[in-house]
Chain A
Amino acid sequence: MSSPGPLRNPHGAVALPAPQAEELRWRLRRSLRFVPAHLVLLAGVALFVFPVYVAFVASTADLPEVTSGTMRLLPGPHAAENYWKAFVAGTGERIRGVPMARAMLNSLAVALGVALGKIALSLLSAYAIVFFDFRWRAPAFWLIFLTLMLPVEVRIIPTYKVASDLGLVNTYTGLILPLTVSATGTLLFRQFFLTVPDELVDAAKIDGAGPLRFLWSVLLPVSRTTVAALFVVLFIYGWNQYLWPLLITTSLEKEVVVVAITKMIGTGEALVDWPVIMASALLALLPPTVVIVAMQRWFVQGLTETEK
Chain B
Amino acid sequence: MRRSFFRAPALPYLLVAPQLVLTLVFFYWPALQGLYQSLLIQDPFGLRTSFAGLANFAAVLADPLYGNAVRVTLVFSAAVVAGAMAVGLVLATAAAQPLRGVQVYRTMLVWPYAVAPAVAAALWLFLAHPSVGIVGRALVRWRLGWDYTLNGTHALLLVVVASVWSRVAYNFVFFLAGLQSIPRSLHEAAQVDGATWFQSFRWVTLPLLAPTTFFLLVVNALYSLFDTFAVIHALTKGGPGKATETLIYKVYVDGVVNLNLGSSSAQSVILLILAVVLTSFQFRFLERRVHYA
B177 touches A300 (CB 8 A): yes
B19 touches A144 (CB 8 A): yes
In the complex, whether A76 has a CB less than 8 A from a CB of chain B is: no
Known: A181-B26, A285-B116. A55 touches B248 (CB 8 A): no
Within the complex, the shortest CB–CB distance from B24 to chain A, in Å, comes to: 8
In the complex, whether B184 has a CB less than 8 A from a CB of chain A is: no
Complex interface: chain A residues within 8 A of B23 (CB)? 143-144, 147, 181
In the complex, whether B201 has a CB less than 8 A from a CB of chain A is: no
In the complex, whether B152 has a CB less than 8 A from a CB of chain A is: no
In the complex, whether B227 has a CB less than 8 A from a CB of chain A is: yes
Complex interface: stretch among A4-12, A81-89, A124-132: A124-132
Interface size class of A (residues with CB under 8 A): 35 or more
Known: A34-B99, A154-B271, A289-B114. A143 touches B91 (CB 8 A): no
The CA-CA distance from A191 to B234 in the complex, in Å, is: 38
Query: Looking at the complex, which one of A162, A205, A259, A281 makes contact with B30 (CB distance below 8 Å)?
Result: A162
B173 touches A52 (CB 8 A): no
Complex interface: chain B residues within 8 A of A132 (CB)? 5-8, 11-12, 15
Complex interface: stretch among B63-71, B72-80, B127-135, B186-194: B127-135
Within the complex, the shortest CB–CB distance from A205 to chain B, in Å, comes to: 8
Complex interface: chain A residues within 8 A of B87 (CB)? 44
A242 touches B230 (CB 8 A): yes
Complex interface: stretch among B41-49, B52-60, B202-210, B261-269: B261-269
B31 touches A124 (CB 8 A): no
In the complex, whether A67 has a CB less than 8 A from a CB of chain B is: yes
The CA-CA distance from A277 to B234 in the complex, in Å, is: 13
In the complex, whether B109 has a CB less than 8 A from a CB of chain A is: yes
Query: Looking at the complex, which one of B37, B105, B110, B118 makes contact with A299 (CB distance below 8 Å)?
Result: B110
Complex interface: chain B residues within 8 A of A153 (CB)? 226-227, 229, 248, 251
Complex interface: chain B residues within 8 A of A259 (CB)? 118
Known: A128-B15, A268-B129. A45 touches B105 (CB 8 A): yes
Complex interface: chain B residues within 8 A of A121 (CB)? 18-19, 22
In the complex, the chain B residue whose C-beta lies closest to that of A260 is B118
In the complex, whether A303 has a CB less than 8 A from a CB of chain B is: yes
A133 touches B5 (CB 8 A): yes
B119 touches A134 (CB 8 A): no
In the complex, whether B142 has a CB less than 8 A from a CB of chain A is: no
Interface string of B116-146 (1 = CB under 8 A from A): 1111111111110101101001000000000
Query: Looking at the complex, which one of A48, A148, A159 makes contact with B111 (CB distance below 8 Å)?
Result: A48
The CA-CA distance from A295 to B75 in the complex, in Å, is: 36
Complex interface: chain A residues within 8 A of B264 (CB)? 157
B268 touches A258 (CB 8 A): no
In the complex, whether A175 has a CB less than 8 A from a CB of chain B is: no
In the complex, whether A37 has a CB less than 8 A from a CB of chain B is: yes
Query: Looking at the complex, which one of A149, A157, A284 makes contact with B268 (CB distance below 8 Å)?
Result: A157
23 A-B interface contacts by CB (under 8 A): A41-B94, A48-B165, A51-B165, A54-B127, A55-B123, A122-B19, A125-B15, A125-B19, A127-B15, A131-B2, A133-B7, A136-B13, A155-B272, A158-B265, A163-B26, A191-B290, A236-B114, A246-B233, A261-B118, A265-B234, A292-B114, A300-B173, A307-B219
Interfacial residues, chain B to chain A (CB-CB below 8 A): 2-8, 11-13, 15-16, 18-20, 22-31, 33-34, 37, 87, 90-91, 93-95, 97-100, 105, 107-127, 129, 131-132, 134, 137, 149, 165, 168-170, 173-174, 177, 215, 219, 222, 226-227, 229-230, 233-235, 237, 248, 251-252, 255-256, 261, 264-265, 268, 271-272, 275-276, 279-280, 282-283, 286, 290, 293
**Among all A-B residue pairs, the 8 with the closest Cβ atoms:** A240-B116, A128-B15, A158-B30, A242-B230, A288-B114, A132-B12, A262-B234, A37-B94
